[in-house]
Amino acid sequence: MADAKSFLAQELTKFFEAAWLDLPAEAGKILLGAGDEKELRKAGWKTYDAWVSLANEVTNAVYSDRIIGEVTGRVMESALRLRQIGGAMTAAFFGNLWPSIGLPTHSEIVAVRDELLALREEMAAYAARLPMSDDAAADHAPNTLGRISESARLNGYRATNGNGSAARSAHQGKRHVAA
């Protein structure tokens, strides 16, 4: 925290130097007819850069502040809880409204979509088992690797670990190659 304060003090000093000394000095020179517009522009950008550095340090100081951190954490959690309650209320309201006017609910649409996907996978698995003519097999040869890969994926992972929670061997990859 002490470091953050000293960085902040440094940036503040730099900003005041640029904004209250360098920039007015260059502007004064121009007014007296002894200045150069290029130098004035340079002093202007120096002030801007010092302001950006100062603003960044202020942001860092805000992020490092314990109270602000705690408030941010609580506000985020409260906002999420409100969002959850709002979502539940909307679902309850529309869940009853939709069927009464003859429209399907979200869960019914999801169920139909899941059924459709399952059907598509079933069809694909069935199509893969159909016998192939020699010509068709030659046409499909370039895709062999794709099918090997896909089967590796299905056999190697999904089938054993579809829900992502079951344990699997850490050496599965190696074993597959050896096989």
Partner 1 sequence: MSLLSDVASFWMEGAMRTLEAFGQGYGSPQTDPPATTPYQVVYEGGMLRLRHYQPLERRHKTPLLIVYALIKRPFILDLQPGKSVVESLVRQGFEVYLTDWLPPARKDSWRGFDAYVNGDIADAVRVLQIREGVEQLNLMGYCLGALLTLLYSSLHPDNVKNLITLTVPFDMGVRDLPFYNLVDFVSDDAAELVTRIYGNCPAWMVNGSFNLMAPIHHAFDKYVGRYRNGPREGYAEMFELFEHWMRSDMPLAGQIYREMHQLIFKRNALKNGELRIADEVVDLGRVTCPLLNVVAEHDDVVHPRSSSGLLDHVGSEDKRNVSFPTGHIGAVVSAGAIGKLWPQVGQWLAERDQ
Binding site for partner 1 (CB under 8 A): 4, 45, 48, 52, 55-56, 59-61, 63-64, 69-70, 72-73, 76-77, 80-81, 83-84, 87, 145-146, 148-150, 152-153, 156-157, 161, 163-168, 170-174, 176-177
Nearer to partner 1, 100 or 163 (CB): 163
CB-based contact 73:65 (threshold 8 Å) = no
Token pair in block for residue 55: 């603003």
Name the minimum Å distance from CB 80 to partner 1: 4
Nearer to partner 1, 1 or 32 (CB): 1
Name the minimum Å distance from CB 102 to partner 1: 26
Q: How far is CA 173 from the centre of its chain?
A: 30
Rg (CA), the chain: 33
Nearer to partner 1, 21 or 76 (CB): 76
**Helix crossing, 37-64 with 66-100: angle to 10°?**
80
Name the minimum Å distance from CB 133 to partner 1: 26
Nearer to partner 1, 34 or 166 (CB): 166
Name the minimum Å distance from CB 71 to partner 1: 8
SS3 176: helix
Nearer to partner 1, 37 or 135 (CB): 37
Nearer to partner 1, 96 or 160 (CB): 160
Name the minimum Å distance from CB 118 to partner 1: 12
b/e for 95-122, b at 16 or more Cβ within 10 A?
Answer: eeeeeeeeeeeeeeeeeeeeeeeeeeee
Name the minimum Å distance from CB 17 to partner 1: 20
Which residues lie closer than 8 Å to 49 by C-beta, 6 or more apart?
Answer: 18
Q: How far is CA 162 from the centre of its chain?
A: 25
Token pair in block for residue 108: 């019914």
